[in-house]
Structure 1
Amino acid sequence: MLHTYSNKRDSSYFSFSDEIQNKNQTYKIFWQRSGCSRLIVDGIAYTIKENQILFLTPLNQLEVEEINSTLNQLSFNREFYCIQQHDQEVSCYGYLFFGSSEVPIVSLDLKDQESFDLLIKVILEEFENSDHIQGEMLQVLLKRFLIKCTRLARKTLTNPDINQDKLDIIRQFNVLVEMHFKQKHKVADYADLLNKSPKTISNLFGEYNDKTPLQVIQERIGLEAKRLFIHTDKTAKEVAYELGFDDAAQFSRFFSKVVGKSPTDFKKSMII
Structure 2
Amino acid sequence: MSSRSGWPASTRRWATCADLQRHHIEEYKAWVGAKHGRYTGKPLNRISIKNRLINLHCFFDRITEWGYPNPPQRPLIFAGDLPIVDKPLPRFLDDAAATKLMRASRADSDPLSRLIVELLARTGIRKSELLGLTVDAVVQIGSAFWLRIPVGKLHNDRYIPLHPQLKEMLDDWITNHRPTGLRTDRLLLERNRPLTALRVATALSRLANEAGIGHVTAHQLRHTLATQAINRGMSLDAIAALLGHKTLAMTMYDLCPDRRQNRC
Q: TM-score, normalised by structure 1?
A: 0.30
Higher helix proportion (structure 1 or 2): 2
TM-score by length of 2: 0.30
Specify the structure having the higher radius of gyration (Cα). 2
- The higher relative CO (CA closer than 8 Å, separation ≥ 6) is in 2
